[in-house]
């Protein structure tokens, strides 16, 4: 199986030992505490599950700037996006060497982790602007990721963490939320060596399903990891529990047994396009996957990125830094001529009229009216689940 990123073994920061965890929970009651952002809580969950191997905690300002500009820490360790605990005001923990981090996403704000404080630093406006532009490719505050990144404060608290729980994800998504440790173990138990990963924050339509099948067959893979984001999304996106139902129904009806693992991870979407595609590759490698499907405008939003920017960014990344292979996909759609889903770039004898093409807006309108999209676009079983969801909003 493929090795984790920059390490011979995964480095999960969740405190597995019950006695030790209880001891830390008790210690946390007497520590100075701070309410962290949803983004920082997501980072803690990803660190806890081994997804962010070889990271051991939150970055300091120098490492964050270096990662933003060069995709490497000051020590030369590869990583594509800053992993930060950013706050507006750190005065409550100013002189503390060890602090409790409180979860903003769970009622009562329980402690999610304990952090050893190595430094408390405040980024300048220029540094914030540089990080924003480098990571998101834009400084436009209408970009949801840019707005979120710049809304949580400019002060970063750096240092290693010990994580006490996985926030709301195990409770809200039992059977779906899994750590990188659990996924790697299950891949091994299934006897899979070559595994294709598919990232999704949306329900899967027929084109997505066929794209997974194409990658599985082209790479002669043993299995497919459908890995859905379970954290916060932008307004209007389909909730994770609805997506989960859709994907499970699709796999149950249309894929052979033991070819697909359906799992999810606890992280908020960045909408950082190319940089987020690289981050997705990092934690899929940590899961044990050998390939990641990267399609058009992967992890993008609006018109901020070129259709293939999330693919070409990998052209300049060394195999010494990132071992996972990228399966590069073009836009897929149903061909009326060939009666199957194809990559549009592979059929140069087609015109636009030869494909079944529907905009996301049009599909949402149809579902909201209780109308199933054409079978060439969406599986009827999936459409039924989505119609029920849209009807419930009325």
CATH number at residue 281: 3.40.50.620
The pLDDT of residue 179 is above 80:
yes
Residue 378 lies in a domain: yes
**What element of type H or E holds 24?**
helix 18-29
Instruction: Please write the tens of the pLDDT for every residue from 39-74.
Output: 999 999 999 999 999 999 999 999 999 999 999 999
Backbone dihedral region of 109: left (phi > 0), alpha (psi from -120 to 50 degrees) or beta? Answer: left
Quote the mean pLDDT of the chain.
95
Instruction: Please write the tens of the pLDDT for every residue from 339-351.
Output: 999 988 889 899 9
Instruction: Please write the tens of the pLDDT for every residue from 371-381.
Output: 999 999 999 99
pLDDT cut 90: percent of the chain above it = 86
Question: What pLDDT, on the 0 to 100 scale, is given for residue 364?
Answer: 84
Residue 13 lies in a domain: no
As a whole number of angstroms, the longest Cα–Cα distance in the chain is 70
- Where residue 224 falls among pLDDT bands split at 50, 70, 90? very high
The pLDDT of residue 361 is above 80:
no
Residue 388 lies in a domain: yes
Shared-domain flag, residues 130 and 187: no
Please compute the mean of the pLDDT values over residues 245-253 and round it to a whole number. Answer: 96
Please compute the mean of the pLDDT values over residues 86-111 and round it to a whole number. Answer: 97
Please compute the mean of the pLDDT values over residues 177-200 and round it to a whole number. Answer: 97
Active-site pick, 190, 201, 213, 328: 201
The pLDDT of residue 365 is above 90:
no
Asked about 364 being catalytic, the answer comes back as no
Between CA 200 and CA 121 the distance in angstroms is 35
Between CA 299 and CA 297 the distance in angstroms is 6
Shared-domain flag, residues 292 and 338: yes
Give the β-pairing of 195-200 and 223-229: parallel
Asked about 258 being catalytic, the answer comes back as no
Peptide bond connecting 125 to the previous residue in cis, omega within 30 degrees of 0: no
Question: What pLDDT, on the 0 to 100 scale, is given for residue 24?
Answer: 98
Please compute the mean of the pLDDT values over residues 139-162 and round it to a whole number. Answer: 97
Structure tokens at 89: 């005001």
Residue 4 lies in a domain: no
With a CB cutoff of 8 Å and minimum separation 6, the contacts of 351 are: none
**What element of type H or E holds 251?**
helix 240-254
The pLDDT of residue 89 is above 90:
yes
- Where residue 233 falls among pLDDT bands split at 50, 70, 90? confident
Phi/psi at 120 (nearest 5 deg)?
-125, 115
Shared-domain flag, residues 130 and 183: no
Question: What pLDDT, on the 0 to 100 scale, is given for residue 331?
Answer: 85
Tokens 């399609």, residue located:
295
The pLDDT of residue 265 is above 90:
yes
Q: What are 213's strand-pairing partners? A: none
Last residue of a domain, one of 143, 167, 191: 167
Of 238, 200, 251, which Cα lies nearest the Cα of 381?
A: 251
Shared-domain flag, residues 141 and 186: no
The pLDDT of residue 251 is above 90:
yes
- Where residue 393 falls among pLDDT bands split at 50, 70, 90? confident
Residue 339 lies in a domain: yes
Total domain count for the chain? 2
- To the nearest 10°, report the CA torsion of 239, 242, 248, 252: -150
**What element of type H or E holds 333?**
strand 332-335
Residue 343 lies in a domain: yes
Please compute the mean of the pLDDT values over residues 171-192 and round it to a whole number. Answer: 96
Residue 1 lies in a domain: no
Q: Provide the CATH number for the domain around residue 119.
A: 3.10.400.10
Please compute the mean of the pLDDT values over residues 128-135 and round it to a whole number. Answer: 98
Question: What pLDDT, on the 0 to 100 scale, is given for residue 137?
Answer: 97
Shared-domain flag, residues 178 and 324: yes
Shared-domain flag, residues 184 and 93: no
Last residue of a domain, one of 144, 167, 190: 167
Structure tokens at 233: 């999304």
Between CA 391 and CA 394 the distance in angstroms is 6
The pLDDT of residue 236 is above 80:
no
Shared-domain flag, residues 179 and 162: no
Of 287, 105, 296, 271, which Cα lies nearest the Cα of 201?
A: 271
Domain that holds residue 84: 18-167
Of 206, 253, 260, which Cα lies nearest the Cα of 228?
A: 260
- CA distances to 81, 83, 232, 285, 333 from 211, rounded to whole Å, are 27, 31, 25, 20, 10
Q: Which of 147-151, 154-158, 308-312, 334-338 has the lowest mean pLDDT?
A: 334-338
Residue 386 lies in a domain: yes
Question: What pLDDT, on the 0 to 100 scale, is given for residue 345?
Answer: 85
Question: What pLDDT, on the 0 to 100 scale, is given for residue 234?
Answer: 78
Question: What pLDDT, on the 0 to 100 scale, is given for residue 150?
Answer: 98
Shared-domain flag, residues 161 and 297: no
Instruction: Please write the tens of the pLDDT for every residue from 300-336.
Output: 999 999 999 999 999 999 999 999 999 999 888 889 9
Between CA 285 and CA 227 the distance in angstroms is 13
Between CA 383 and CA 133 the distance in angstroms is 38
Measured CA angle at 106 (ends 104, 110), to 5 deg: 80
**DSSP labels for 207-244?**
HHHHHHHHHHHHTT-SEEEEEEE-S---TTSPPHHHHH
Shared-domain flag, residues 233 and 313: yes
Tokens 């304990």, residue located:
114
Of 39, 169, 178, 11, which Cα lies nearest the Cα of 101?
A: 39
Active-site pick, 202, 248, 328, 364: 202
Last residue of a domain, one of 167, 199, 224: 167
**DSSP labels for 39-69?**
HHHHHHHHHHTTTTTT--EE--HHHHHHHHH
The pLDDT of residue 362 is above 90:
no
Q: What number of other Cβ atoms are within 10 A of residue 127's Cβ? A: 16
Question: What pLDDT, on the 0 to 100 scale, is given for residue 202?
Answer: 87
- Where residue 216 falls among pLDDT bands split at 50, 70, 90? very high
Shared-domain flag, residues 100 and 115: yes
Shared-domain flag, residues 388 and 250: yes
Shared-domain flag, residues 245 and 202: yes
């Amino acid at each position: 199986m493929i090795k984790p990123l920059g390490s011979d073994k995964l480095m999960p920061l969740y405190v597995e030992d019950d006695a030790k965890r209880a001891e830390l929970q008790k210690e946390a009651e007497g520590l100075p505490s701070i309410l962290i952002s949803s983004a920082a809580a997501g980072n803690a969950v990803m660190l806890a599950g081994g997804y962010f191997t070889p990271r051991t905690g939150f970055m300091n300002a120098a490492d964050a700037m270096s990662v933003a500009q060069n995709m490497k820490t000051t020590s030369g360790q590869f990583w594509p996006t800053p992993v930060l605990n950013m706050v507006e005001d750190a005065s409550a923990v100013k002189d503390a060497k060890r602090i409790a981090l409180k979860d903003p996403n769970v009622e009562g704000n329980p402690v999610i982790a304990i952090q050893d404080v190595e430094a408390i630093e405040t980024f300048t406006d220029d540094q914030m602007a540089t990080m924003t532009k480098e990571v998101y490719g834009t400084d436009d505050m209408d970009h949801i990721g840019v707005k979120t990144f710049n809304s949580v404060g400019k002060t970063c608290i750096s240092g290693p963490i010990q994580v006490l729980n996985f926030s709301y994800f195990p409770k809200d998504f039992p059977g779906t939320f899994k750590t990188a440790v659990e996924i790697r173990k299950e891949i091994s138990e299934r006897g899979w060596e070559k595994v294709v990963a598919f990232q999704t924050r949306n329900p899967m339509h027929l084109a997505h399903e066929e794209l997974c099948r194409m990658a599985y067959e082209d790479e002669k893979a043993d299995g497919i990891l459908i890995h859905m984001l379970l954290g916060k999304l932008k307004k209007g996106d389909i909730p994770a529990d609805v997506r989960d139902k859709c994907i499970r129904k699709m796999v149950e009806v249309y894929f052979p047994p033991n070819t697909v693992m359906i799992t999810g991870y606890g992280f908020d979407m960045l909408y950082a396009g190319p940089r987020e595609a690289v981050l997705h590759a990092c934690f899929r490698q940590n899961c044990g996957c050998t390939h990641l499907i990267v399609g058009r405008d992967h992890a993008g939003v609006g018109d901020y990125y070129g259709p293939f920017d999330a693919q070409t960014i990998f052209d300049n990344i060394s195999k010494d830094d990132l071992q996972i292979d990228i399966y590069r996909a073009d836009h897929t759609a149903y061909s009326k001529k060939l009666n199957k889903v194809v990559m549009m770039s592979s059929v140069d004898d087609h015109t636009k009229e030869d494909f079944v093409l529907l905009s996301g807006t049009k599909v949402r309108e149809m579902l909201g009216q209780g109308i199933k999209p054409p079978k060439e676009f969406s599986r009827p079983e999936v459409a039924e689940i989505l119609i029920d969801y849209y009807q419930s909003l009325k």
